[in-house]
Amino acid sequence: MAFAEVGGAEEGKATPGTVTAGTVTAVVEGREIRAVSGEAVSINTSGATATVNLGQHVLKIGKSTLQMDDQMPSEIPAATKTVDIRVVEDMLTVRADGKEVLRAKLEGK
**How many residues are there in the chain?**
109
Cα 26 from Cα 22, distance rounded (Å)? 14
Confidence of residue 82 (pLDDT cuts 50, 70, 90): very high
Question: Quick one: which of 95, 102, 60 has its CA closest to 81?
Answer: 95
Give the angle subtended at the CA of 44 by the CAs of 39 and 47, to the nearest 5°: 155
Cα atoms in the Cβ-side hemisphere of radius 13 Å centred on 7:
15
Cα 45 from Cα 49, distance rounded (Å)? 6
Q: Which pTM value belongs to this model?
A: 0.79
Confidence of residue 27 (pLDDT cuts 50, 70, 90): very high
Give the angle subtended at the CA of 41 by the CAs of 68 and 83, to the nearest 5°: 60
Strands 82-88 and 31-46: parallel
Does residue 83 or residue 107 have the better pLDDT?
Answer: 83
> Residue 7's pLDDT is what?
41
DSSP classification of residue 30: T
Segment 32-81, tens digit of pLDDT: 999 999 888 999 999 899 999 998 899 999 999 999 998 999 999 999 99
> Residue 20's pLDDT is what?
60
Instruction: Provide φ and ψ at 97, rounded to 5°.
Output: 50, 40
All structural domains of the chain with their residue ranges? 2-105
